[in-house]
Amino acid sequence: MKVIRYHSDHGARTGILISTGRKFHKVLLVDNPVRVTKVPLSEERHFTDLEYRQVGRPYPVARAKRILRDAVRRWHGSLREVSKEVREVLS
């Protein structure tokens, strides 16, 4: 897992790259509603690694998970209201 910035047709989104399969990447995008999105492998050219405090270090995944978990609680009330796949990533 790593934290990425994805420049899609709908603008730039921050997300957590969960896994890479044969045809798709699974990405948890920081957007409301929170869900796991399948992105084709051809879109990988639009991924950039997110840096932590502009010093060249990669953004910590544990920190991103914590911030996203808090956002899910604010948006949805609790983690029970999101899909099982999202709960597995955030736990």
Q: In this predicted model, what pLDDT tens digit does every residue of 5-49 receive, in sequence order?
A: 999 888 898 999 999 999 999 999 888 788 899 999 999 999 999
Q: Cis ω on the peptide bond leading into residue 33 (within 30° of 0)?
A: yes
Q: Where are the domains of the chain?
A: 2-90
Q: Is 34 exposed, middle or buried (0-12, 13-18, 19+ CB in 10 A)?
A: buried
User: What is the Cα gyration radius of the chain?
Assistant: 13
pLDDT bracket for residue 80 (50, 70, 90): confident
CATH number, span 2-90: 2.30.30
What was the pLDDT predicted at 46? 94
Letter string b/e over residues 40-52, b meaning 16 or more CB atoms within 10 A of that residue's CB: eeeeeeebeebee
Phi, psi of 54 (to 5 degrees): 55, 30
Separation CA 12–CA 2 (nearest Å)? 16
